[in-house]
Amino acid sequence: MEILSLLNAQRPTLSFEFFPPKDQAGADELFKTVHELGELNPAFVSVTYGAGGTTRARTRSVVQRILRETSVPTVPHLTCIGHSKQEMTEILDQYASDQVSTILALRGDPPRDQPNYDRSQDDFQYAADLVRFIKAHPHHFEVGVAGFPEGHPDTQNRLQEMDFFKEKIDAGADYICTQLFFDNHDFLDYRDRCDLAGIHLPIVAGIMPITSIASMKRMAQLAAGSNFPAPLLKALGSAKDQESMRQAGTHYAIEQCQELIKHQVAGLHLYTLNKSSATRAIAESLIE
């Protein structure tokens, strides 16, 4: 099933993101989560792809199993760093045979064990190159791309950043899914700047509930430049224990989503970390 028609509907979509587990225990936990969240009738789910293609086989395996065991449209992430055009054709052929209709195209990062990776030798220099390549494949894929409400980490010049982003859109993108953010003003300003740049695609907002100080610190380390607004810090700081912190982070995410719905967001994409508790609480609050 193609998802673009759902994103263009009047009602915001709800979707979830998973990552490929490393072992059988992780797989068991993941698919328990998949089935629990599947009861909420998401518009689609997505499955991440490891840096440099390190989870290539596992990503496809998860996608195939979700498609086999559920009726939920499933969107594999695909990154271009480290892949040749021949490898990319093989991957796309496989997804075509799986009846996958949508792919999230990303530049991605090199593997962590290759800090001096030379990107100049890659067949795909930018995500726009991958979008263009996917669109040229005989199988019709809808293509999503990543958006950065807080700014792209590699482009400090925000005017130039939007020029680069427009190139990715013009390559054939069909919708935008943003990186996580915690201040809705960042998202709404980003959406307005897209409109000013002539970008009129559905923009899905990426939301992740913070359930512990450790997870917030880890997030700050991985996503340098993330904006943690004072109301969020105040809510987490007043928590007396782990459970109250989980509740505070979940409540903040619920209020984020409710405000975005009032501002007619095209969709809400919840980063699950392969767990259903906080994600389900957020989703159920929005369905009521």
Please report which confidence band the pLDDT of residue 4 belongs to, taking 50, 70 and 90 as the band edges.
Answer: confident
Looking at residue 110, what is its pLDDT?
76
Residue 140: closest CA among 103, 91, 113: 103
Q: Is the pLDDT of residue 154 over 60?
A: yes
Q: Which neighbouring-strand residues pair with 176?
A: 145, 203
Residue 177 CB contacts under 8 Å (≥ 6 apart), including other chains: 46, 104, 144, 145, 146, 147, 203, 204, 206, 269
- 206-233 pLDDT per residue, tens: 999 998 877 777 777 666 567 889 999 9
- Cβ atoms within 10 A of the Cβ of 138, count? 7
Report the chain's mean pLDDT, rounded to a whole number.
91
Just list the catalytic residues. 17
- 255-272 pLDDT per residue, tens: 999 999 999 999 999 999
Q: What is the β-pairing status of strands 102-106 and 13-18?
A: unpaired
Contact yes or no for 198/160 (Cβ under 8 A):
no
Contact yes or no for 212/277 (Cβ under 8 A):
no
Q: Residue 118 burial by CB count (10 A; 0-12/13-18/19+): exposed, middle or buried?
A: exposed
Q: Is the pLDDT of residue 253 over 90?
A: yes
- What class is the 4-287 domain? alpha beta
- 61-92 pLDDT per residue, tens: 999 999 999 999 999 999 998 899 999 999 99
The CA–CA distances, whole Å, from 140 to 95, 170, 203, 217, 227 equal 11, 17, 21, 40, 37
Alpha helices by DSSP H, the chain:
4-7, 24-38, 56-69, 85-97, 127-135, 158-170, 184-196, 213-222, 230-237, 242-262, 277-287
Contact yes or no for 7/267 (Cβ under 8 A):
yes
Q: Give the predicted TM-score (pTM) of the model.
A: 0.94
Looking at residue 225, what is its pLDDT?
63
Looking at residue 288, what is its pLDDT?
61
- 110-147 pLDDT per residue, tens: 777 777 777 778 899 899 999 999 999 999 999 999 99
> Between vectors from CA 244 to CA 282 and to CA 27, what angle results, nearest 5°?
55
CA 100/CA 102 separation, integer angstroms: 6
For residue 119, the SS3 value is helix
CA 60/CA 48 separation, integer angstroms: 10
The CA–CA distances, whole Å, from 179 to 5, 93, 125, 209, 271 equal 22, 28, 20, 13, 10
Contact yes or no for 83/51 (Cβ under 8 A):
no
For residue 150, the SS3 value is coil
% of the chain with per-residue pLDDT over 70: 97
The CA–CA distances, whole Å, from 243 to 83, 135, 207, 210, 216 equal 43, 46, 20, 12, 15
Looking at residue 222, what is its pLDDT?
61
CA 256/CA 54 separation, integer angstroms: 33
Instruction: Give the up-direction half-sphere exposure of residue 141: CA atoms within 13 A in the CB hemisphere.
Output: 35
